[in-house]
Structure 1
Amino acid sequence: MLRWQIAIQEYRGNMTILHKEGNIHKNSDGLSRWALANTPDNPAYVPLEAQTQIPIEGIDITDIGSEFFEEVRESYKQDNNCHILTSLLDKHLKDTSLVNSLDEVRKNSYSEGRFHLFDGIIYHRTKNSCVMALCIRLLINTILHEFHDNI
């Protein structure tokens, strides 16, 4: 249990672990106790001046060149919905006429905050994943080739 407590220490201040009584939660009961203080005798001690917050937005694990991503950005100009989403997300616009011009599925996803723009690429977030939004078939075929055939 100490191993998990030490691993979780780096997230202190960003999460709260609550104790829930019952037989189902006995295996994690030790995690719900008071966190160890950030002192030199704590194995997970981090000096205050060394603490920084580093958000991880995504991890690049592909060999796909920047040309592909530039092609994706250019393809957004060809598709009306992608072009509107890029405009809305890039400038953080609240233009209801632009939002209403999206098709129904994308309008609902946009209003739920499921679209994100990173480096000019639109990503669609679902409950358990975040995927790149592609709007032309050629790019879908390129992705399939790069990740399945080009290993």
Structure 2
Amino acid sequence: MKDCKDPSLSLKLDEIWKKAYDEGRFHLLDGILYHRTKHTCVLSLTDKTLINTVLHECDDSVAAGNLSEDRTLERVKICSWWPNQKKDVAEYCQTCYRCQKANRATGKKFGMMIQILEPKSPWEIVDMDWVTALPPGGDRSYNACLVLVYRYSKNSMFLPFHKDDKAMDTAIMIWNKALWTNLHKLFGTKLSFSTAYHPQLDYLSERMIQTLEDMIRRFCSYGPEFKDSDGFTHNWCTLIPDLELAYKTSIHSRTGKTPAMLEKGWKPRIPFDHLKKDLVDIHPTARTATK
């Protein structure tokens, strides 16, 4: 890899490209122009079709989760750079029909009723809650989902299940049973209870439920007119593995890292990681080095 420094070329660049060029942020490898960031080098894109491909894969695909503007930008920055990148991502997300239709209105946050201790290690505190207002899905017609959130890493698990009892019956059967409480007492597990629609105690799982519902709403519909070219299914159960992967590989606003990185120490591979192969005709030497 060598620095790309050509005074004659610098005169032909617009202001944004010229600034990056003068700072020595471009490198040329096997005929492909890369943009150097603080820790790595990413592809420099100029073709609008390629830019739209990156935006689609980083926001619209199920594996990306169609999450927030900031998380989409972080995914885009992993593999590519172009002028006004942040502005283009913001415009793309703000004009996304699926996002605008699925996003919920948010108001002021509830005040804290009790002090919530922050964990010092993974798996020390686990929040759990249920989503019960779901249509039947999957081969076994699941109509609810158990949401687990690990407070340390912000990682989550979504487990489809059946809603056979009313919420009050479930609470009496599980939470108030002597077997349940004594079992956790033996394991040294401390239980904290919260009531429905009062997230002051269990705000993390309540917020995760909102995020899960938003993601499902973006990719599920109840009429054939909403079926798009990507083949998104109406069956929410089949989306759960991809949505779970999308969440754990996106940067959390509070930790600044992905839940998978905090919990596992490494980044899982996602379909988006293979996008670089289709962006440009990579030189055989670079492709061999990648393998």
Q: Which has the larger radius of gyration?
A: 2
Q: TM-score, normalised by structure 2?
A: 0.18
Q: Normalized per residue, which structure has more strand?
A: 2
> Comparing both chains, which one has the higher relative contact order based on Cα–Cα distances under 8 Å and sequence gaps of 6 or more?
2
